Chains A and B, each alone.
Chain A
Amino acid sequence: SQQGEEDPQALSIQEGENATMNCSYKTSINNLQWYRQNSGRGLVHLILIRSNEREKHSGRLRVTLDTSKKSSSLLITASRAADTASYFCATQIQGAQKLVFGQGTRLTINP
Chain B
Amino acid sequence: DARVTQTPRHKVTEMGQEVTMRCQPILGHNTVFWYRQTMMQGLELLAYFRNRAPLDDSGMPKDRFSAEMPDATLATLKIQPSEPRDSAVYFCASGLVLQGNTGELFFGEGSRLTVL
Asked whether B42 lies within 8 Å of A102 as measured between CB atoms, the reply is: yes
How many Å lie between the Cα of A19 and that of B32 in the bound state? 32
Interface size class of A (residues with CB under 8 A): 20 to 34
How many Å lie between the Cα of A33 and that of B17 in the bound state? 37
Taking CB as reference atom, which chain B residue is nearest A102? B42
Total number of B residues with any Cβ neighbor in A under 8 Å: 25
- Pick the residue among A42, A92, A101 that contacts B42 (CB under 8 A): A101
Q: Does A30 contact B (CB under 8 A)?
A: yes
Q: 8 Å CB contacts to B: which residues of A17-73?
A: 30-31, 33, 35, 41-45, 48, 50
Q: Does B84 contact A (CB under 8 A)?
A: no
Chain B nearest Cβ from A52, distance in angstroms: 11
Instruction: Report chain B residues within 8 Å CB of A102.
Output: 42
Secondary structure type dominating chain B contacts: strand
* Contact flag A45-B31 (CB < 8 Å), given A98-B56, A103-B42: no
Interface core residue of A42, A43, A102 (most chain B CB under 10 Å): A42
How many Å lie between the Cα of A9 and that of B105 in the bound state? 23
Chain A nearest Cβ from B39, distance in angstroms: 10
Asked whether A31 lies within 8 Å of B110 as measured between CB atoms, the reply is: no
Taking CB as reference atom, which chain A residue is nearest B45? A98
* Contact flag A98-B108 (CB < 8 Å), given A43-B91, A88-B43: no
Taking CB as reference atom, which chain B residue is nearest A31? B101
* Contact flag A43-B102 (CB < 8 Å), given A98-B45, A102-B42: no
List 28 A-B residue pairs with CB atoms under 8 Å apart, sorted by A's residue number: A3-B42, A30-B100, A30-B102, A31-B101, A35-B105, A35-B107, A42-B93, A42-B107, A42-B109, A42-B110, A43-B91, A43-B93, A44-B107, A45-B104, A45-B106, A48-B103, A50-B101, A92-B101, A97-B50, A97-B100, A98-B33, A99-B45, A99-B102, A99-B105, A100-B45, A101-B42, A101-B45, A104-B43
Interface residue ranges, A against B (CB under 8 Å): 3, 30-31, 33, 35, 41-45, 48, 50, 88, 90, 92, 96-104
